[in-house]
């Protein structure tokens, strides 16, 4: 049986941030109440994340144990194959003894089954308190299962929002007790989202913004939104979703927006995806 792993209900992404901006955003996020932070080796800022978190925790008096850090291993590290060395590099970058969640960033063809088996060793060592993957589809999970694994993944992170409800992946994850982290949970507020009559109607009735309605939808069907914002006011708005609840009809209507639409092109980072 997998150990219980507690993760905050909202995750802040640190992608595309330099030191100055990240320090500002993380300081604001901790003040608002955020306690989970997402990065990756391919974001090329793990050392910045580590330095900012070290400084911010010292300045706020928040302990390392109170925050949840996710990072990811990239395709080039999978190809090198020295997976157990790669976690040590990430730990040095992040200035921590462990990460709360370690993922492979992509199901890199011909590599990801053996990568995961090496990640299982890292999990047993305690250097990663949970392991998982990003950008997996159902066929990748099935292939991983067929290849033979000992530890069921704890988390999967993929693009998930009202325009991509990904029912097949969610059903598989529920069956196997894999927690879902949703990146691009607002689908970058593109027009079909921002201008949706359904979302605007629910927002007007509840007195919330369209973004708050979507984030609440995520929480109520069991996914953990992981979003990027460099605006402190927006961070505060996104956090203020605990004082209302969507009806079952609301949930069904939002679900009806599904188009199996993806904002991010997978083939750019995963040939043969």
Residue 6 confidence (pLDDT): 77
Of 260, 252, 256, 265, the residue nearest 166 (C-alpha)? 260
The yes-or-no verdict on residue 264 having pLDDT over 90 is no
The pTM (predicted TM-score) of the whole model is 0.94
Quote the CA–CA distance of 263 and 268 in Å, as a whole number: 12
Residues 242-260 pLDDT 10s: 999 999 999 999 999 999 9
Query: Hunting for tokens 């997978």 — which residue is that?
Result: 266
Question: Which pLDDT band, with edges at 50, 70 and 90, does 38 fall under?
Answer: very high
Quote the CA–CA distance of 263 and 273 in Å, as a whole number: 16
Of 135, 130, 154, the residue nearest 75 (C-alpha)? 135
Residue 125 confidence (pLDDT): 97
Question: Which pLDDT band, with edges at 50, 70 and 90, does 272 fall under?
Answer: low
**Residue range 53-65: mean pLDDT, rounded:** 97
Residue 18 confidence (pLDDT): 94
The yes-or-no verdict on residue 156 having pLDDT over 50 is yes
| % of the chain exceeding 90 in pLDDT | 92
Residue 3 confidence (pLDDT): 52
What is the distance of C-alpha 165 from the center of its chain? 16
Average pLDDT, the chain: 94
More confident residue, 5 or 191: 191
| Continuous segment of H or E residues that includes residue 46 | helix 46-60
Residue 273 confidence (pLDDT): 57
Query: Does residue 166 contact residue 140 with C-beta atoms inside 8 Å?
Result: no
Structure tokens at 42: 């391919």
Catalytic pick among 43, 111, 112, 183: 43
Which three-class secondary structure state does DSSP give residue 54?
Answer: helix
Structure tokens at 130: 């949970």
The yes-or-no verdict on residue 214 having pLDDT over 50 is yes
The yes-or-no verdict on residue 271 having pLDDT over 60 is yes
Whether 43 is catalytic: yes
Question: Which pLDDT band, with edges at 50, 70 and 90, does 268 fall under?
Answer: low
């Amino acid at each position: 049986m997998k150990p219980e792993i507690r993760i905050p209900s909202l995750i802040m992404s640190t992608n595309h941030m330099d030191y100055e901006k990240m320090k500002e955003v993380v300081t604001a996020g901790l003040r608002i109440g955020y306690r989970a932070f997402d990065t990756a080796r391919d974001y090329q800022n793990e050392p910045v994340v580590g330095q900012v978190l070290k400084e911010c925790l010292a300045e706020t008096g928040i302990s390392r144990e109170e925050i949840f850090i996710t990072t990811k291993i990239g395709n080039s590290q999978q190809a090198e194959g020295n997976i157990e060395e790669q976690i040590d590099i990430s730990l040095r970058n992040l200035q921590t003894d462990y990460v709360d969640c370690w993922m492979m960033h992509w199901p890199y063809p011909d590599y990801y089954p053996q990568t995961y088996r090496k990640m299982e060793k890292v999990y047993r060592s305690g250097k990663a308190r949970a392991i998982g993957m990003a950008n997996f589809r159902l066929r990748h999970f099935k292939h991983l299962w067929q290849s033979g694994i000992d530890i069921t993944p704890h988390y999967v992170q993929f693009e998930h929002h009202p325009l991509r409800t990904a029912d097949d992946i969610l059903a598989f994850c529920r069956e196997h007790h894999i927690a879902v982290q949703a990146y691009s949970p607002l689908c970058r507020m593109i027009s079909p989202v921002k201008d949706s009559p359904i979302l605007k109607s629910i927002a007007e009735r509840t007195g919330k913004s369209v973004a708050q309605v979507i984030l609440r939808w995520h929480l109520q069907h069991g996914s953990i939104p992981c979003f990027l914002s460099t605006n402190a006011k927006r961070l505060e708005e996104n956090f203020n979703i605990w004082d209302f609840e969507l009806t079952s009809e609301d949930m069904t209507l939002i679900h009806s927006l599904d188009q199996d639409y993806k904002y991010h092109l997978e083939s750019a980072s995963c040939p043969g995806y």
